[in-house]
């Protein structure tokens, strides 16, 4: 039995008069690893932000983890994202003044929790990312691949059901990118975590369960 975790229908997004996402309908099953490819400017980042509740569409519907994210209020969405969604970006988006473990633990700060517990959870994830020797490093002292593994650990710390990744290997050399992909495939398999990943690397895209291709705002 396949369980849809994300269902989008007739999504449109326009900026001023420019339609960037045009009548997109798609569905992802729980546990799927789906890649989204397409030329630069085809609307991939915009579509990802609509599907992941970061932006509102001009029209259309999105149900994510059983929630109608178009109707939800911004305060509901903040809680919902924290409980269900992990984000990974091309440029890592780490906080430069926090150490590796503090970056990973940052999403836990709204919860009332002992600092010791936060640290333990962050350290465990960093160890799984082979970064047990980099806990106290600032992002500026880490390589690109290390930064992205810190970002993956941060995305995982609240045990999300789905991860949205926008060109997670875009700033990495191909070998490092390959190892980041292996990490994402591992968490997808081991934790049955759904992943939607934008990439313009066709080879990396080909390793997914399914590939969606975007062209000029439309899913082919
Ligand atoms: N906030 C915005 N305001 C106006 N135009 C935007 C905005 N965001 C994206 N666009 C435009 O939408 C198109 C698609 O952008 P984007 O979704 O970033 O594509 P991709 O991720 O595939 O490169 C581009 O022409 C871009 O300039
Ligand atoms: Mg983009």
Q: Determine the topology of domain 4-95+159-219 in CATH.
A: Rossmann fold (3.40.50)
For residue 18 the two structure tokens come to 């420019």
Q: What is the mean pLDDT of the chain?
A: 95
Is a pLDDT exceeding 90 seen at residue 205? no
CA of 116 to the centre of ligand 2 (A): 37
Quote the pLDDT of residue 201. Answer: 85
Give the contacts of 74 (CB within 8 A, at least 6 positions apart): none
Cα angle value 186/187/190 (rounded, 5°): 80
pTM value surpassing 0.85: yes
DSSP 59-85: EEEEEETTEETTTS-HHHHHHHHHHHE
Span 96-109, pLDDT tens digits: 999 999 999 999 98
Closest atom of ligand 1 relative to the 49 alpha carbon: 17
Residue boundaries of the structural domains of the chain: 4-95+159-219
Does any ligand 1 atom lie closer than 6 A to the CB of residue 13? no
Q: Minimal CA–CA distance to 180: which of 167, 192, 189?
A: 167
Span 113-168, pLDDT tens digits: 899 999 999 999 999 999 999 999 999 999 999 999 999 999 999 999 999 999 99
- For residues 183 and 52, the answer to whether their CB atoms sit within 8 Å is no
């Amino acid at each position: 039995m396949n369980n849809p975790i994300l269902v989008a229908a007739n999504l449109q997004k326009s900026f001023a008069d420019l339609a960037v996402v045009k009548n997109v309908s798609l569905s992802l099953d729980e546990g799927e690893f789906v890649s989204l490819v397409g030329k630069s400017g085809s609307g991939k980042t915009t579509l990802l932000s609509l599907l992941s509740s970061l932006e509102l569409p001009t029209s259309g519907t999105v149900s994510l983890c059983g929630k109608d994210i178009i109707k939800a209020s911004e305060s509901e969405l903040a809680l919902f994202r924290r409980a269900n969604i992990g984000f990974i970006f091309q440029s890592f988006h780490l906080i430069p003044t926090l150490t590796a473990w503090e970056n990973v633990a940052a999403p836990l700060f709204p919860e009332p929790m002992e600092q010791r517990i936060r640290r333990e959870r962050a350290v465990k994830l960093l160890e799984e990312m082979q970064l047990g020797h980099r806990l106290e490093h600032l992002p500026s002292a880490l390589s690109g691949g290390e930064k992205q593994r810190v970002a993956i650990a941060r995305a995982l710390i609240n045990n999300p059901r789905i991860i949205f990744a926008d060109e997670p290997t875009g700033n990495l050399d191909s070998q490092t990118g390959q190892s980041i992909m292996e990490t994402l495939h591992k968490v997808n398999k081991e934790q049955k975590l759904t992943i939607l990943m934008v990439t313009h690397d066709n080879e990396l895209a080909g390793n997914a369960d399914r590939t969606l291709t975007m062209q000029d705002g439309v899913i082919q």
